[in-house]
Structure 1
Amino acid sequence: MNLDSIGKVGVVGAGTMGNGIAQVCAASGYDVVMRDIEEEFVENGLEAIDDSLSRFVSKDRLSAEDVKGVKNRITGTTDLTDLADCDLVIEAAVEKMGIKRDIFADLEDVTDENAVLATNTSTLSITTIANATEREDRVIGLHFMNPVPIMEGVEVVVGEKTGDETVELAHAFAEDLGKTTWESDDKPGFVTNRILMPWINEGIRAFDEGVASKEDIDAGMELGTNVPMGPLTLADHIGLDICLDASETLSEELGDRYKPAYLLKRKVEAGDLGKKTGTGFYEYK
């Protein structure tokens, strides 16, 4: 099992993460099948890819010919069996264990037994997801960062029964996409969200408790710690619903230190999910 064995990549989920993963795979020369459960979701995903590629052209990072090649390598579908001849499938569905396990059980049936199955989960157990299949040695976590076409890193998460060859392939594949990888054991939150979610929640609590304005909290962290975004801006970009789901999962696994901030819950209940809805801690056009 090596990088040359991957010719076609499947992506399950055409949302923000799924269409970003599809784009970077196609931009690196892979044929990609992007699947979602409704045609509307697939079309929205393809439109998001178009918009993203247009921004790359406007910044002279891609040519019109490059864009044509990328788009020609991506096929959208609602039929999971269209992933039957994919050598690697990356699941990027919602952060719900039951849904992910159902997807992996279905992928077990429709894909070749030698295909590698990866999940883009940011907090859920790779081992538990893999257990829905008969190929646990070929299931791994490939946690891309958002926005996928821009962010450099990919977290490779190793399940209890993930094989060494699968781990090596995951690193090689992500690096072939132009990414830099780091590796985590299958512990709650892995490296990134285990550390990131308490930071975001504490920023939200500081704002809610009147420590400072949201602008000053973000400025203090950006200028004081040299991060590109403060916690409130970053939460808006990730999606407040995603932050809440991740925090709740970590709280269940690791206790009250990961308990989501009250204001985060209130924002999600109000439907203010951040940049993707136009309103979060900040307003977006």
Structure 2
Amino acid sequence: MTRMLNRRGVYATALLLMSLQATAAVAVPEPVQRDRAGNRLEPLAEQTGPKDEGGDSSEATSAWLCTADHLWCVRTARQGDEGAAQLEVAQQVAGEATPRFRYVPLLTAGDEVRNYRPWPYLVRMTPGIGAPQPPRDPQQAALENVLVGVVGETNTMYSGGGASASQLSLSRIYHEDDGIQIDSVLTVPSDGNAMIRACFSEKDMQQRAGACHDEYSFSADLTLAPDGEGMPVLRYTTRATRYPAGVSRERDSLAMGRLTRKDLRTETDRTCSFQRTLRFSGQGYQPDAPLPQCSEFTEL
């Protein structure tokens, strides 16, 4: 009887674990962030995108990402020249049969950036916010102005490792009486990862306590400050870590002394783990304090 109960208990536990795993696999939609002015930062989800009037002839490098109401969609694409990359933005205006397409030019193949992907969020501004001068035309004035983004990534390989670094670039799309304007308003580090160093001898392994690679990680979040008024106020939050503790890309880790077991932990870098408030000033966003020098985490 005891064996039967044990088997039933194991079986019930297995079913519970499978149920929990299935529940965890269900994606929970991210909430829309709102500020005092009515601006909204909305997550974008992969959806069937619109078709351009001239046909969908571009070589897309990403799927369409759209707002929940499908009024705004973005994707990165290459058009014609293999090196010409752009962010395609589709705006569906109420009462119009086809969307309006906007194109934000990106860097070319001659630059270091190799991969682009849309920032999976979009900031929708309250009508009347976002343009230097509100349009006199009431129809133009009623249209949403937005902030859209693209993440550009570079990467390289090392002997026994590699590194990648990416930057987030935001553009403002706003309406005027004579049409729309697009300008770049922010560029900040977005992600970084590096695995460098190697052990070439038994002595190296002993000095490194068996941890032959240094690992560096950087991540950043851009969110909407809830107390912002007028142009959206953004919060830029970062976290940088290194493993083993105390290592640095700026000096030879083998010259720092023998590592011990207590060094084999992930250490948060306090300088490059920070938060800044970004406010729109003139033609772009400015932080409330200078950003620290974090090339150890954000550059190849």
Whether the TM-score (by the shorter chain) exceeds 0.5 is no
Q: Decide which structure has greater strand share.
A: 2
Q: Decide which structure has greater helix share.
A: 1
TM-score (norm 1): 0.24
TM-score (norm 2): 0.23
Greater Rg, structure 1 or structure 2?
2
